[in-house]
Chain A
Amino acid sequence: MSKKPTAIAEKNSAPAVPANDAAHAPINAGLPREEKIELYRKMVRIRRFEERSLQAYQKGGKIGGFLHLYIGQEAVAVGCCSLMGKHDHVITAYRDHGHAIAVGMDTKPLMAELYGKATGCSKGKGGSMHYFDPTKNFWGGHGIVGGQIPLGVGLAYGVKYQGHKGAAMAFMGDGTVNQGAVHEAYNLASLWQLPVIFVIENNGYSMGTSQERSSAGALAKRAEGYDMAWGVCDGHDVYQVRATMDKFLRLAREESKPAVIEIRTYRYRGHSVADPDNTYRSKQEIEEYRRSKDPIQVFQNQLLTERVLDEALIEKIDAEARAEADAAADFSEASPFPTPDDIQKDVYWETDNPTERKSQGRLFFD
């Protein structure tokens, strides 16, 4: 019933950066030791944050609604976001915890958002699917499949229009490529040569539907129909993600060229915590990925080989990440909920800035 996502992906012909070369790519080879450790640490922090959130959801009943975990995909967000400059922007879908941490958001308000607290990054209004932090050039966190992709094109247009050298990364899943809005966005990006990289995080499944059951043909290759560059890379290796994305981000920033990049990854958990995960893939398949391709393990091995990490440092990073996740949970626990009076705040700029209101008439109804 379940096939490995790689089976289809093999049909792609775009050159991926071979694993061993990625470490030698200048963007990686030139990294100071501290920054390599930081890449590793970010992935561990995301993992521990999400494991802690899962515990709060399942054991404590502290979190409502959906919780889409990124566990297994950490190298993608961390690799991509580590390349961000001042005028680079990120937008993604509902599986957004990894990107939020990768762009540098503090885990306390992120966890508090899951708890629905007023101290959350969206004041408890958005929840798991709707994280935002414009100060980190992070534009969400979007619940509707594909809805974020035209916005990503808009970020790229804005950067270009305002005369900056920057790029937007618009993330989506493998199932998202079949939304009409995505195709309209591709065309606009290419037609107007906008600096956007469409990043397909191909984890093999959209909910319970495997890639081959939802998409005709190869995913990133569709870019050819829009006369856009494309590429495929291994998302289990953060060096590869960086090497590939660096190449296309430069083209975007310097020549305003869009591209579609498919990054092959895997999620270990169900689609969301509500997914019983027993209809579409085997336990062995998940185990195989965990055993041989875990992005944290892969990078840990790499950094051990490079003698950047040693066992003591690995232990320390992990202990700190666990402590950070616990502290975020404690902070969330201790924080207040919003009140019913908060429901109608943050709806209009004018009611949030009443002294500057220009329009007249009633804005709210009962």
Chain B
Amino acid sequence: MPVIEYREAIRDALAEELTRDANVVVFGEEVGQFQGAYKVTKGLLEKFGPKRIVDTPISEAGFIGMGIGASMLGVRPVMELMFWSFYSVAFDQILNNAANVRYMSGGQINCPIVIRGPANGGTNVGATHSHTPENVLANHPGVKVVVPATAYDAKGLLKSAIRDNDPVFFLENTMLYGEKGEIPTEEYLIPLGKADVKREGTDLTIVTYGRCVLHSLAAAALLEKEHDVSVEVVDLRCIRPLDIDTVLASVAKTHRVLIVEEQKPFASVGSQLAYMIQREAFDELDGPIHRLATIDAPAIYSPPVEAEQLPNPQRVLKAALAAVA
């Protein structure tokens, strides 16, 4: 199987869907002539032309709103946010218009838009550029939220997202763009809302998603080797729809849970998970549900300190030991 970067996997998904469906268009700042701020869209302008790959002014509310409007007519826009942090400029369009138009029209109007871009810390770009809004987004019924951790997942999930008839918010990670993974040569799709057990284990379930999957796998390897603890890592892949069944099945096996997320703790994805796990698997638990999140403050710039503010393999390891103690 070919091994490609996460960014190439996204690019391939875009190219395949652009080829398959003439209604798919790609909009965003610097996606065309500049080849993408992170080179995700590299080559697409040359291949698909300026009618399908469109550079926008710095007007997130305007162009995202435009995409939502066009999607109501059946265009399938894939809108790039250079950083998900800039979603706040387009908040009304994303969470009032896209999230509600179907409901308010009594189901008459579809909104098949994808908004994608990186949402992560760890690159020392400070508080304004490091938001992880998956919990905020997923708080809105009507939208879907995807956070892929690997190249394979990114490609299969993005293709499904583009074919989905609801608004799908696709949260990538600049720290993952260069990560490589195996991808089959033949076409594949991954359904939205299906978690993936990235590592099997018996002593502890780590429920996680996004880049924290990598941290958790790294910690799990150490836990196995140095502490004789067998960890199962469940990668949610999607926040909404949420595959709680896979989580519960794992809890029934290990009886201990650590949630790891690159989120601020208050009302995070992990908060929702913890509620659901205790509600539906209370008797399976041998101890309280633990959680490791980003330290509760705006993102600090200072590079070595930001590394400590976020989850990292060492912090996961410590939290895991506490959860099995």
Residues of A within 8 A of B (CB): 1, 64-66, 113, 116-117, 122, 124-127, 129-130, 142-147, 175-176, 178-181, 206-209, 213-215, 279-280, 337-340, 342-344, 347, 364-366
Contact = CB atoms under 8 A, between A and B. Distances in A.
Contacts of A214: 57-58
A65 B265 contact: no
A1 B45 CA distance: 15
B126 A338 contact: no
B305 A130 contact: no
A178 B63 CA distance: 11
Contacts of A347: 297-298
B34 interface: yes
Given A117-B302, A366-B293, A209 B55 contact: yes
A124 B126 contact: no
Contacts of B126: 65, 125-127, 129-130, 143
B67 to A, nearest CB: 15
Given A207-B34, A338-B302, 10 more contacts: A130-B126, A142-B128, A144-B85, A144-B88, A179-B89, A208-B30, A213-B33, A343-B309, A365-B266, A366-B296
Contacts of A124: 300-302, 305
A175 B34 CA distance: 15
Contacts of A209: 29-30, 33-34, 55, 57
B57 A342 contact: no
A180 B309 contact: no
B128 A340 contact: no
A180 B62 CA distance: 8
B37 interface: yes
Classify the interface of chain A: helix, strand, loop or mixed.
Answer: loop
B302 A116 contact: yes
Contacts of B265: 365-366
B129 interface: yes
A129 B33 CA distance: 25
Contacts of B300: 124-125, 338, 342-343
B295 A207 contact: no
A176 B89 CA distance: 13
Interface string B49-66: 000000101111110000
B127 interface: yes
A144 B87 CA distance: 11
* A-B complex: 7 closest residue pairs judged by Cβ atoms: A64-B124, A127-B301, A116-B302, A208-B34, A143-B128, A65-B124, A124-B302
A124 B30 CA distance: 30
Contacts of B182: none
A207 B57 CA distance: 11
Nearest to A213: B55
16 contacts: A1-B33, A65-B303, A113-B301, A116-B304, A124-B300, A124-B305, A129-B129, A180-B59, A208-B30, A209-B57, A213-B33, A337-B304, A340-B308, A347-B297, A366-B291, A366-B295
B55 to A, nearest CB: 6
B127 A176 contact: no
Contacts of A125: 126-127, 298, 300-302
Contacts of B304: 116, 337
A260 B200 CA distance: 62
Nearest to B128: A143
A340 B309 CA distance: 7
Interface in B281-325: 291, 293, 295-298, 300-306, 308-309
A170 B127 CA distance: 21
A207 B82 CA distance: 12
Contacts of B301: 64-65, 113, 116, 122, 124-127, 130
Given A144-B89, A208-B30, A344-B297, A279 B305 contact: no
A214 B304 CA distance: 37
A218 to B, nearest CB: 15
B305 A337 contact: yes
A178 B58 CA distance: 6
A64 B306 CA distance: 11
Interface string B245-271: 000000000000000000011100000
Contacts of B197: none
A24 B301 CA distance: 45
A332 B318 CA distance: 32
B35 interface: yes
B87 to A, nearest CB: 11
B35 A127 contact: no
B59 A344 contact: no
B125 interface: yes
A178 B59 CA distance: 6
A209 B309 CA distance: 35
A117 B264 CA distance: 24
A147 B127 CA distance: 14
Contacts of B23: none
Contacts of B35: 279
A208 B33 contact: yes
A215 to B, nearest CB: 7
